[in-house]
Amino acid sequence: MIIGIDLGTTNSLACVYKDGKAQLIPNSLGSYLTPSVVSFEGTGEVIVGAVAKERLVTNPADTAAAFKRFMGSPKVFRLAGKEFTPQELSAFVLRQLKQDAEKYLGEEVTEAVISVPAYFNNNQRAATLEAGRIAGIHVERLVNEPSAAALASSMLSDKDEQIYLVFDFGGGTLDVSVVDYFNNVIEILAVSGDNHLGGTDFDSKIAEFFCTSHNIDLQKLPLQKQATLKRLAEKAKKELTEKESALLHMDIDGEDKAVILNNEILIQCCGTLFDRIETAVKHALRDSGYHAEDINEMILAGGSSKMPVVSYFLQNLLGKKPIMIGSPDEVIAQGAGIYAGIKARNQEIRDMLLTDICPFTLGVGIYNPSNSEGHLNMSPIIERNSVLPISKTGIYTNVEDMQRKIKFNIYQGEAFDCADNLCLGSVTINIAPVMAREACVKVTFAYDINGILVVDVEDNFSNNKKQAIFKSEGMNLSPDEIAKKVEALKQYKSDFSGDERDKLLLARGSRLYQELTGINRMRVAEAMKEYEYILSVNDRHAKHILRQQITTMFDQFEEFFDV
């Protein structure tokens, strides 16, 4: 069985194309959204999802979130006395989604199509593939998140021809794509984005606003207080999607500090974030060759796109109201599920065609005689937003008399200075010794939809040829190293004994116990003791009734005490 996975910064989802439609797969709690949070207990158990998210407050030193932002980087997370890469943490999330899917579908999941931000570079895509392999999932195809959103939207729409602007704004990344849909063909015309801009940045700005209003240094607060403030900021942000204002208050050193938020204040304190959004949108439109008035529909995807201030900003920027086809939280997972169905050659959708483009320019570094520091400058061969697959050739020459070799460094990126781009590797070729600038060396790039770059270099005088293949196969890990990481992952067991709802209720109680004081804290403690006793005697009927009562009490604490 092949499934689609939206591996998100904040939440992740799985989807399967079955019975002629994309069906989201619920987790053990019955929710489609699994928080992309991983936590470790001293017993060696790994916790993924909603329970782990509660532990961000109670056990911040052993819990990690938003690690997707660091995919493909040397960032290391130190948790429970051990070090983990972003792709290893992502593998825990993928493994959880795989296990939930197998339980729901009643059969083994052998392959997945995973969505990635369109603006992910080769290293980030390679890290995502590596995470899949560590999780024990065969991942042959990555699909760009806006492409997946466009695919799902085209199937939900009743129109045969559209120019879409897909605004995919998640918890940690922003992708903007211009898409042409015609006669079952989805063609991506241009992409732009920001891999470090998402809903979590709005949470941080709200937390900073709170601290600034009360002359508090956010970074000097204890980790648990920082985590609590970020959670309250996120809650206030979500309240503003439905209410005119939201109250954010928190106990700081025994004093109740509060601020009132509304969308006008949110726009003011997040002005720099909106500037970055505007840059990405205008960049995508410019590269596509279309103007705002040419766009038929603007589709919102990603949970952060539900913020009213975002819709209002986009409407003012482009002069048209964004639409939501389906749920922004779910549309990317649905698209990944549909693409999994296409890949599996499902009868109803096998003739659909999804084209993709090169999100970054690919080129070689060339010598600049005017640069005294010897920095190489970028010479583009395949420009960004070129439709894939594609093959293009550049002609280069020697810079010294009787030069016998030329080394071509291969880069990905838009910067003029190669040092600011991503170096994918190099190719060195022997050339005929001729005078400076008389050599004629052809460099051909062939780039396909799976991120495989084939570089062919040929010297016209000597007929020497050299070929190199650059694949997004992993972070330069050997099969043996991957196998070791797979075995290491297996050592961290997920405890599936008992009801996941029990663990969530107790984790929530632990978090409320830390955040409340006085009589309410005592009520939480007594409720948890009673619930743990009911669990120990295995009285299912009493547990069901008590769980409802405690959940109602916890909900009241959340609502009235804003914790």
User: Same domain for 452 and 418?
Assistant: yes
Q: Which of 412, 174, 173, 200 is nearest to 284 (CA)?
A: 174
- Residues 384 and 165: their CA atoms lie apart, in Å, by 18
User: Same domain for 166 and 138?
Assistant: yes
The answer for 80, left when phi > 0, alpha when psi is -120 to 50, beta otherwise, is left
Our measurement of the distance from residue 359's CA atom to the centroid of its chain's CA atoms, rounded to an integer in Å, reads 16
User: Same domain for 509 and 458?
Assistant: no
Asked whether residue 237 is domain-assigned, the answer is: no
Phi, psi of 188 (to 5 degrees): -80, 120
Phi, psi of 182 (to 5 degrees): -155, 125
Structural domain containing residue 537:
500-560
Which residue would you say has higher pLDDT here, 19 or 101?
101
The dihedral of CA 476, 478, 481, 485: what is its sign? Answer: positive
Which residue would you say has higher pLDDT here, 2 or 563?
2
Residues 337/17, Cβ–Cβ less than 8 Å: yes
Residues 405/431, Cβ–Cβ less than 8 Å: yes
User: Same domain for 321 and 399?
Assistant: no
Q: Give pLDDT tens digits for 206-237.
A: 999 999 999 999 999 998 899 899 999 999 99
pLDDT above 90: residue 121: no
**Residue entry with tokens 């550049």:** 394
- Residues 305 and 53: their CA atoms lie apart, in Å, by 21
User: Same domain for 309 and 426?
Assistant: no
Asked whether residue 256 is domain-assigned, the answer is: no
Asked whether residue 74 is domain-assigned, the answer is: yes
Asked whether residue 395 is domain-assigned, the answer is: yes
For position 474, what pLDDT does the model report? 55
Q: Which of 143, 186, 184, 137 is nearest to 343 (CA)?
A: 143
pTM of the model: 0.82
Q: Which of 313, 311, 336, 334 is nearest to 323 (CA)?
A: 311
Which residue would you say has higher pLDDT here, 500 or 335?
335
User: End of a domain among 334, 355, 376?
Assistant: 355
- Residues 163 and 299: their CA atoms lie apart, in Å, by 10
Provide the number of structural domains found in the chain. Answer: 3
pLDDT band (50, 70, 90) for residue 496: very low
pLDDT above 60: residue 498: no
For position 366, what pLDDT does the model report? 94
User: End of a domain among 336, 355, 374?
Assistant: 355
User: Same domain for 37 and 100?
Assistant: yes
Q: For position 50, which CATH number holds?
A: 3.30.420.40
Q: For position 429, which CATH number holds?
A: 2.60.34.10
Paired tokens of 8: 């998100």
Radius of gyration of the CA atoms of the chain, in A = 26
Q: Which of 482, 479, 484, 486 is nearest to 136 (CA)?
A: 486
- Residues 313 and 500: their CA atoms lie apart, in Å, by 40
What average pLDDT score do residues 78-106 get? 95
User: Same domain for 323 and 387?
Assistant: no
Say how many residues make up the chain: 563
Asked whether residue 213 is domain-assigned, the answer is: no
- Residues 72 and 146: their CA atoms lie apart, in Å, by 20
Q: Give pLDDT tens digits for 300-332.
A: 999 899 999 999 999 999 998 898 777 899 999
Paired tokens of 420: 């600011």
Q: DSSP per residue over 56-93, as a string?
A: HHH-GGGEEE-GGGGTTS---EEETTEEE-HHHHHHHH
Strand partners, 187: 180, 355
Q: Give pLDDT tens digits for 1-51.
A: 999 999 999 999 999 999 888 999 999 999 999 999 999 987 778 999 999
User: Same domain for 76 and 177?
Assistant: yes
User: Same domain for 348 and 372?
Assistant: no
For position 359, what pLDDT does the model report? 86
User: Same domain for 163 and 193?
Assistant: yes
Q: What mean pLDDT is reported for the chain? A: 89
pLDDT band (50, 70, 90) for residue 476: low
For position 221, what pLDDT does the model report? 92
User: End of a domain among 322, 339, 355?
Assistant: 355
User: Same domain for 336 and 371?
Assistant: no
What average pLDDT score do residues 369-383 get? 84
What average pLDDT score do residues 263-269 get? 93
What average pLDDT score do residues 544-548 get? 91
User: Same domain for 382 and 521?
Assistant: no
Paired tokens of 283: 């960049």
Collect all residues with Cβ–Cβ distance below 8 Å to 481 and sequence separation of at least 6: none
Paired tokens of 463: 């007929």
Asked whether residue 485 is domain-assigned, the answer is: no
pLDDT band (50, 70, 90) for residue 153: confident
pLDDT band (50, 70, 90) for residue 437: very high
Say how many C-beta atoms besides its own lie within 10 A of residue 460's C-beta.
13
Q: Give pLDDT tens digits for 321-366.
A: 898 777 899 999 999 999 999 888 777 776 777 788 888 999 999 9
Q: Residue type for 188, please?
A: I
> To the nearest whole percent, how much of the chain has pLDDT over 90?
64
Asked whether residue 165 is domain-assigned, the answer is: yes
| Residue 290: strand, helix, or coil | coil
Asked whether residue 263 is domain-assigned, the answer is: no
pLDDT band (50, 70, 90) for residue 448: confident
| Residue 161: strand, helix, or coil | strand
Paired tokens of 390: 């594609």
Residues 138/493, Cβ–Cβ less than 8 Å: no
